[in-house]
Amino acid sequence: MARLFGTDGVRGVAGRDLTAEIAMALSVAAAHVLGDAGVFAATGSGRRQRPVAVVGRDPRASGEFLEAAVVAGLASSGVDVLRLGVLPTPAVAHLTAALGADLGVMLSASHNAAPDNGIKFLARGGFKLSDAVEDEIERRIGEDWSRPVGSAVGRVRDAYGEADRYISHVLTTVNGQLDGLNVVVDCAHGAAHMVAPEALLRAGSRVEAIGARPDGLNINAGYGSTHLDKLQQVVVSRGADMGIAYDGDADRCLAVDHTGAIVDGDQIMAILAADMHAKGSLAKDTVVATVMSNLGFKLAMREAGINVIETAVGDRYVLERMKSEGYNLGGEQSGHVIMLDHATTGDGLLTSLHLLSVVANSGRSLRELASIMTPLPQILINVKDVDRGKSAADELTVAVAEAEAELGETGRVLIRPSGTEPMIRVMVEASSEDQATKVAERLAEVVRVACV
């Protein structure tokens, strides 16, 4: 049977791939795995203490029935549940730790369209699970278990007011106020539609919010970090200093400068890394990025005296490297930025506040700050309906070596099989867009022939 967990939890079309039955079964198994790892501890009174879970979701309509299924699975397993309501993924992660919960659950399909949904589990402390723990949860689905009854069943209560605890937390991480900054914020009709504008207002900026009227079906529809055109238009038409766009669950953000130019995750990381480096707060003078980060980012960091450590694609792999080696800044080009001094996962609101803080405290525009790096032209071709297991085919290996020799130090090639689809991604960076396009198209044709 195919593995249920993907690169970021369990995801699929709600009601078809991700059913109420699957959600409940996963929650029961997660309660057993995460609950057995240090909860049910004896209290001073000799009674056994039930584990506690927090559950949050984005505004998708399907989140309503999936939340009910998750809560039922947890409570029937003897877990007390705090329902947080609609909140960003990083808020659920923070509250998992802040409330001393034994596990957290977030229902979201991030930047996907409304029909999709997903389940992410968080361990005590608010960290994402390792592959090994996810595998153990899958293994224990459907196992025989002793069902609690009577006073042993979990209790459920609403904890919607805890959103303010998260807002207060992210605001305490920023030095100074953002007074005078005029910001447009695009909430993707998603999980940040209430907390992001509120936090930015409290920080002192003037805020105009768009994409902040979720109806359960419009999440990410023409708004958010994957659809920046509306944000660009509003920023320019209003004469705003900058714009910020979150995705559906607000664990990432991208930005737009006052001219409407996009500032991506690599540029945001570069700005934050340089600022932290100058302040002496960048751990080991190192930032962690994935293999998809633009070569221009790496060249800019080298020029600034900052080391770059690379990981596989996925913010969870960035986080694992940061935790294991003591780094405090990392992320992805897509806008997942992890500031480990303040959060356990990528946090779009936290990132945007720190980016705005650099702008406010430096007296420089976002456009000026983003010029720290010059992105090299990057062409990505997704070659579909091929055997992703053949990404190391001899013909392709030879073609990649020839392309790398042609590009030299001013370009690179990355061939990456999809983790979920019969597809191989071909990414090429070069000193010119024309060269990058030609090399990428050539390699894509090799993939179509060699990987069938």
Which residues belong to the active site? 110
- From 227, 194, 229, 198, select the one nearest 212 (Cα to Cα): 194
How many Å separate Cα 180 from the centre of its chain? 29
Q: How many helices (H) and strands (E) does the chain have?
A: 14, 18
Specify the length of the chain in residues: 452
The CA distance from 29 to 143, in Å, is 8
Tokens of 52: 């506690």
The CA distance from 357 to 176, in Å, is 7
Torsion angle, alpha carbons of 5, 125, 106, 109, to 10: -50
Let me know if 439 is exposed, middle or buried by CB neighbors in 10 A (0-12, 13-18, 19+). Answer: buried
Tokens of 330: 């990392």
- From 65, 2, 55, select the one nearest 30 (Cα to Cα): 55
441 φ, ψ to 5°? Answer: -65, -35
| Paired strand residues for 254 | 245
How many Å separate Cα 253 from the centre of its chain? 9
Q: How far is CA 13 from CA 71, 109, 112, 280, in A?
A: 20, 9, 10, 46
Angle formed at CA 208 by CA 205 and CA 209, multiple of 5 degrees: 120
SS (H, E, C) 168-234: HHHHHCCCCCCCCCEEEEECCCCCCCCHHHHHHHHCCCEEEEECCCCCCCCCCCCCCCCCCHHHHHH
- From 411, 410, 451, 445, select the one nearest 428 (Cα to Cα): 411
Eight-class DSSP state of 160: G
By three-state DSSP, how is residue 303 classified? helix
The residue assigned the tokens 């020799």 is: 405
Cβ(170)–Cβ(246) below 8 Å? no
199: region left, alpha or beta (phi > 0 left; psi from -120 to 50 alpha): alpha
